[in-house]
Amino acid sequence: MAKRMAVFFCLFLVLAGMLLLRIAEMASFESAENAAVLQSKRTLELSESRAGIFDRKGESLVNKNRERRILVFPDILDISVLNEFFDRDSLAEVFSKKEPSVLDIGGKIVEGEGIFNFFFPERYSEKQLAVHVVGYMNGGKGVFGIEKSFDSFLSENGSKVSVSYYTDGKGKLLSGEEISLSEEKTFEKTGVLLTLDSEIQKIAEKALSEGTEKGAAVVMNVQNGEILASASVPEFEPGNIADYLDSENSPFINRAFSAYTVGSTWKLVVAAAALESGISPEKTFECTGSIEVDERVYKCHWESGHGEIDMEKALEISCNPYFINLALEIGGEKILETAKNLGFGTPSDFGENFSSAGGNLPSASELSAKTVLASFAFGQGKLMATPVQLTCLVSAVANGGKAVTPKLVLGIFDKNGNFESTPDYAENPVMSEKTANILRKMMINVVENGSGKNAKPKNGGAGGKTASAQTGQFDSEGNEIIHAWFVGFYPAENPKFAVAVFAEGMDSGGDFAAPIFKKICDGINLLNYN
C-alpha cells in the first residue's frame, strides 16, 4: 500500500510540475505578446516646418500658406465618405497600400472614424516677398540668404505635427488602441526678425519690376542704417529653383548686395571731401566742354561747355570737368579717406555666410596718378560699389553727417519666446553738420531744377543724384553697357529714408532710375510711415 501511495505521489509531482511549467510558459508568452504590442507603436511625421522669418512688425515672410490635409487609416475608414473627392481608381490605390495616407482634398474638413484633419504649411508663397533676402533650401537645408545664414537655428526651432498608433506583427492597425495626433508647438514668433518692412518691400519690388528687367532698390532708415526694403530683379521662385538655373538674366544674383560701377553718384563723396577740406561751395570753374589731364582729354556731356559754374550748379547738371578739377585740388587721399569712413570698400555682414560685396576702391598709390584720380572724380575707373553702400552715403548726408552701419537682422526669438537682439553700432561722424546741410541743399536742387526732375515725388520733395555709369562692357551690337542710377533721400525736409535705385544696362539715370525712386517715395507717402 505504501509503495502504491509513493507511486501516486511521484506521479502527482510530475503532473504538478508540468502544470507549473505550462503556466510559466503561458505567462511568458503573454508577457512577450504584450511586449510585442508595445514595440509596435509607430509614429508618422506629417508636417515639419522650420522656424519663421519675419519682418520688423512681426509679419511672417514664410510659412504663410497653411493648407488643410487629412490623414486616413484604410483599416478602419468608411470609404464612402471620400467618394465625393476621389474616383474609384484613386481610392483603390489608397486602400491597396494598407498604410495611413495623407490626402489633399482642397482644404475641406472631413469627419469620421479613421480620419484626422491637420495643417500642412508651405514654406514659400507663390510670389515670395524679399526672395533674395529670405533665400531658399535644398533637401531641407538652407543654401542661400537668411535660410542659409540661420540654417541651424531655423531647423532646430521649428514645429512638427505627427501621429502615433499601434499595429500588430503584420502591420495591421490594432483595434481599440488610441490613435493620437500631436503638434509640437513653439512660440508663435519663433524665428529671425528682420529690419524689412513688408509694406515698403512690396512698394519697392513693384516699382522696380515695372521700371527695369534687371536691377535693385534699397530703402534705408537714415538714422540707424536699418534696411527697410531690399529688392532685386529678376526674381525667382524658391520652390522651383530648377526652372531658373539656365536663365540668361541671372535671377539668383542679389543685385542689391552686389557691386557695380556707380558713375556720377560718386560726385557726392568728392563734394563732401572738398567741403570738409575747407573748399567753399561757391568755388567756380570755367567748363569749356572738356578738361585735359596729363595729355588726356576728359569731355563734358555738354560739348559746348557750361561756362563758369559753382559746386551747386556743377552737381545739378553733373559736370565732369568741374569735379575732376575739384579732385585734383584736394587730392586722392582725402577722397579715399572720406569714402572709407562712409563704408565703401568694406563688405556689410548680415549674418553667418551672408554679406554684401565690399566693392572696390583704388589705392592711394594708384590715385597719385592724375589720370586715375580724374576718372575717380566722376565715379569711373576701378571704383565699384553696392546699392547698400550708396544708401549709407545718402543716410550720412540726410542725418547730419553720421555714418550708419547697414543692418538687416533685428534679432531672433527661440522656441520659448526668448529674444536675442543683434548689436547696435555707435554713431560715426564723417562730416560736419554744416557740410551735410550744404550737400542736402544741393541734392534738393538736383531734383527741383537739375538732372533728377523725374525723381520728384508728388508730396514732400526729395534730394538726390543721378548717374549713367559706364562699364567698359559691350553688347552684341558693339554698344557700351551703361548702368542707370538714382540715389536720394525722402522727404526733402527732415528726411527719414535713403533710397538707391540701380537699373542695369538702362543708360540714363534721370530717365529710368529716377522715376522708380519717385514711385517708391509716393508709395511710402501713402503709408503715413512713422
Check if the beta carbon of residue 332 is closer than 8 Å to that of residue 368: yes
How much is the pLDDT for 19?
56
* Averaged confidence pLDDT in the chain: 88
259 shares its domain with 337: yes
DSSP summary character for residue 174: P
Confidence bin at 20 (pLDDT 50/70/90)? low
60: containing domain: 42-65+125-194
Q: Judge contact between 237 and 252, C-beta under 8 A.
A: no
Q: Are residues 169 and 308 in the same domain?
A: no
Q: Are residues 394 and 258 located together in one domain of the fold?
A: yes
Provide DSSP, 220-288. EETTT-BEEEEEEES---TT-GGGGTT-TT-TTS-GGGS-B--GGGGHHHHHHHHHHTT--TT--EEE-
Does the pLDDT value for residue 323 go beyond 90? yes
**Torsional sign, CA 253, 220, 502, 337:** negative
Do the domain assignments include residue 34? Answer: no
Which comes out higher in pLDDT, residue 102 or 512?
512
Give the per-residue pLDDT at 186: 76
Which CATH number is 135's domain given? 3.90.1310
- Please identify, among 139, 170, 194, the residue that sits at the C-terminal boundary of a domain: 194
- Say whether both 519 and 388 belong to one domain: yes
Q: Which of 194, 225, 243 is the last residue of a domain?
A: 194
User: Could you tell me what percent of the chain has a pLDDT over 90?
Assistant: 63
Lowest mean pLDDT among 70-74, 140-144, 309-313: 70-74
Residue 202 located in a structural domain = yes
Q: What is the pLDDT at residue 42?
A: 82
Q: How many helices (H) and strands (E) does the chain have?
A: 15, 25
C-alpha cell at 400: 547730419
Which of 170, 194, 218 is the last residue before a domain boundary? 194
Do 330 and 409 belong together in one domain? yes
Based on the domain organization, do 417 and 322 belong to the same domain?
A: yes
Top-confidence residue, 260 or 139 = 260
Residue 32 has pLDDT above 50, yes or no: no
Assess whether pLDDT exceeds 90 at residue 461.
Answer: yes
SS3 529: coil
State percent of the chain over pLDDT 70.
92
Based on the domain organization, do 425 and 296 belong to the same domain? yes
pTM: 0.86
- pLDDT confidence tier of residue 149, bands split at 50, 70 and 90: very high
* Least confident window among 142-156, 239-253, 265-279, 513-527: 239-253
| Of 473, 460, 449, residue with least CA distance to 318 | 449
Range with top average pLDDT, 68-77, 382-391, 422-431: 382-391
The structural domain count of the chain equals 2
- pLDDT tens digits for range 55-64: 999 999 999 8
428 φ, ψ (degrees, to nearest 5): -130, 95
pLDDT digits (tens, 9 = 90+) for 343-371: 999 999 999 999 999 999 999 999 999 99
Q: What is the pLDDT of residue 37?
A: 47
190/202 same-domain check: no
Q: Determine, yes or no, domain membership for 84.
A: no
Q: Is the pLDDT reported for residue 166 higher than 90?
A: no
Residue 109 lies in a domain: no
Question: pLDDT digit string (tens) for 377-422?
Answer: 999 999 999 999 999 999 999 999 999 999 999 999 998 889 999 9
Same domain, 129 and 263: no
Q: What is the pLDDT at residue 5?
A: 56
Q: Which band of pLDDT confidence, cut at 50, 70 and 90, is reported for residue 49? A: confident
pLDDT average, residue stretch 371-377: 95
Would you say residue 53 lies in a domain? Answer: yes
Element containing residue 369 per DSSP (H, E): none
156 inside domain: yes
Is residue 111 situated within a structural domain? no
Q: Which residue has the higher pLDDT, 137 or 477?
A: 137
The answer on pLDDT for 24 being more than 60 is: no
In a domain, 92, yes or no: no
142 and 254 together in one domain: no
Q: Quickly count: other Cβ atoms within 10 Å of residue 93's Cβ.
A: 11
Query: In 3D, which of 316, 320, 323 has the Cα closest to residue 274?
Result: 323
Section 432-455 average pLDDT: 97
